Amino acid sequence: MSTSPSSSAQQARQAIADRLREILRDSGMTARALARQAGWDETKCSRLVNGRTPPSDADIRTWCQICGVPDEIPDLIAASRSAGDAYVEWRRVQRSQKRMQEMRLTLYEETRLFRFYCCNVVPWPLQTPGYMRVLMTRFSEFHSAGTDIEAGVEARLARRRFLAGRNRRCAMLIEESVLRNRIAADDVMAEQLRHMLTAMGQANLSLGIIPMSAPRKQVVTETFSIYDEARVFIELVSAAVTITQPREIDLYVRYFAELAASAVYGDQARALILAAIEALE
């Protein structure tokens, strides 16, 4: 049975508690023995394994070190830090389009390698104002979200500054079908496609297009973006999902690499874009 999105944060915290209980059981220790070595009150162990008290980073380190599994520390700390933000329903942040565009500015500022895979729309670093305006308007209408569309467009355009500079790289993969999806009027789509041709000249930007006829290893399931090896974001119809566990991020990095192997670049990518423009005309 599927779980309710509204309970996802609590479920994430409970998953951490369950893992702490498993680690304790596998170590062969009792909660009393662990508490004694850690210098804790025994009731603290009970609160942690039952999910009543979220563990601090120090609690996780102490627990794993005493139980002899220090390799568990990075993943558990990452999961604990993101438990409350792992699943954010759009209704929690949809009152303002501008606010939605400014949710991750600190992360963008810190990121040096941006990776985007899109199977439905053009990724935001390549979007024209007209294309952005259409997407935000459709989102607003569907979710009854904020109507500050122009402020949202300006905020999204302002995010491009984080992609500038020689020490930053941006790798984007899109499906060929993205070029053909007529989610906007023909003149808006033509402008968007021409902008992609121009943007391909940027030295720190790589655009790969996966042809519909290309053989591939993986069946694509979702659009996602990767920020260094720190975060993966997935945007669903109802919510934004954040992944921070290193082993999960590694899966997406590997997935991105396999998708990239099916893509075409340079002149071959330009040919697909030009064909899409010709189809519009």
What is the domain extent for residue 172?
A: 87-280
The domain that holds 163 is classified in CATH as 3.30.870.10
- Condensed to tens digits (0 to 9), the pLDDT of residues 33-46 reads 999 999 998 899 99
- Condensed to tens digits (0 to 9), the pLDDT of residues 73-92 reads 988 887 777 665 666 666 66
Instruction: Output the 3-class SS for the chain.
Output: CCCCHHHHHHHHHHHHHHHHHHHHHHHCCCHHHHHHHHCCCHHHHHHHHCCCCCCCHHHHHHHHHHCCCHHHHHHHHHHHHHCCCCEEEHHHCCCCHHHHHCCCHHHHHHCCEEEEEECCCCCHHHCCHHHHHHHHHHHHHHHCCCCCHHHHHHHHHHHHHHHCCCCCEEEEEEEHHHHHCCCCCHHHHHHHHHHHHHHCCCCCEEEEEECCCCCCCCCCCCCEEEECCCEEEEECCCEEEEECCHHHHHHHHHHHHHHHCCCECHHHHHHHHHHHHHHHC
Where is average pLDDT lowest: 102-111, 132-141, 154-163, 194-203? 102-111
Output the pTM of the full model.
0.72
Residue where one domain finishes, among candidates 20, 54, 82: 82
**Mean local confidence (pLDDT), 203-224:** 88
42 shares a domain with 75: yes
Is a pLDDT exceeding 90 seen at residue 30? yes
- Condensed to tens digits (0 to 9), the pLDDT of residues 159-203 reads 999 998 889 999 999 999 999 999 999 999 999 999 999 999 999
Is a pLDDT exceeding 90 seen at residue 241? no
pLDDT at 1: 32
pLDDT at 117: 97
Where is average pLDDT lowest: 17-26, 95-104, 179-188? 95-104
23 shares a domain with 135: no
pLDDT at 176: 96
Residue where one domain finishes, among candidates 82, 117, 148: 82
